[in-house]
Amino acid sequence: MPAPLGSRHFFSRAAVGAGAAISVLCLGVLMWSYLARSAQSERTRTNIETAAKLTHISQSINITSREDYEAARALRQWAVDLDHHNAEALENLTFAIVTGVLNHWSDDAVADLHAADLALQDALLIAPGSMRVRGAECQILRAMRQLDEALAEFLEADRLAPDSQLRWSWQQGIGLVYLMQGQDQKAIEWLSRAALEAPNAGHPVAYLASACALVGREQEAREALDHYLKLWPNTTLKSFGPTIGTAAFSGKMERVLEGLRLAGLPE
């Protein structure tokens, strides 16, 4: 039996009302979704910009003390937390952590090297061809006492990017490995290049002093050490001792320490 005319009008108005309500609800959901995505996009953009600024600021810190190291590492970690897809921030964090380990500023060398390796692996996934990332890889291999692998990576990086601003650090790494292996003349050659390219870096000239002393070039050794001590006063042999590593590694590092001792660095 057909519904009365009034009922049909009522149902029609109800259906229209329900449809309108659903439309408004859908519109509200879409608007909320759009605003949420917009807000998320804005936060992401802000985080990326802030991370880039933090990375730039941290690169201006010359890491020559524990305080410098802690400040640089904190800024670089903050940059990575804001933008974990930034290969430069990850590479910078790796460098900071490894610098802390190599200079005895780390409270837990093993844990810090693990953290540095995680940051490096992420950077390699994002920018496998970056020479800065490759430089960080060289340094972490050196810090992890994998000398043969580190030497190969340093030499390859020096070959591939002869104009890089990081070249001195690779040359230092090459020279140090040769010094630890007893190839003192090769060490002097590479460390001299590093010291020439980065006269205020410090460590290249310190290792050069060690190499010169071991081959009897006493005057050059003293001059190199004097230059180093002007940059890093109050340094002692303890500052160069290995914090981690095998007995074989410690034995190789003893050559470096003996050279520094002969050059005049106090205990």
Q: Is residue 183 part of a domain?
A: yes
pLDDT recorded at residue 11: 47
Q: Which long-range contacts (CB under 8 A, 24 or more apart) does 69-75 make?
A: 69/96, 69/99, 69/100, 69/103, 69/105, 70/105, 72/96, 73/97, 73/100
Residues 172, 139 share a domain: no
Read off the pTM: 0.65
Q: Does 136 share its domain with 50?
A: yes
- CATH code for the domain of 93: 1.25.40.10
Task: Write out pLDDT tens, residues 34-85.
Answer: 554 555 565 667 777 777 777 777 777 777 677 888 888 888 888 889 888 8
Based on the domain organization, do 193 and 134 belong to the same domain?
no
Segment 223-250, tens digit of pLDDT: 999 999 998 888 888 877 665 555 666 7
Residue 77: which residues within 8 A CB-CB, separation 6 or more? Answer: 93
What is the spatial distance between Cα 84 and Cα 55, in angstroms, rounded to a whole number? 12
pLDDT in tens, 112-139: 888 888 888 888 898 887 777 777 777 7
CA 135/CA 191 separation, integer angstroms: 17
Q: Determine the 3-state secondary structure of 198 from DSSP.
A: coil
pLDDT(7) > 70: no
- CB proximity list for 99: less than 8 A, separation 6 or greater: 63, 69, 105
Residue 198 belongs to what domain range?
A: 168-267
pLDDT at 23: 58
Same domain, 80 and 139: yes
173 inside domain: yes
Verify that 139 and 181 share a domain, yes or no: no
Q: How many CB atoms lie within 10 A of CB 206?
A: 28
Is pLDDT larger for residue 145 or for residue 13?
A: 145
- Domain count along the chain: 2
Find out whether 106 and 112 touch, Cβ atoms under 8 Å: yes
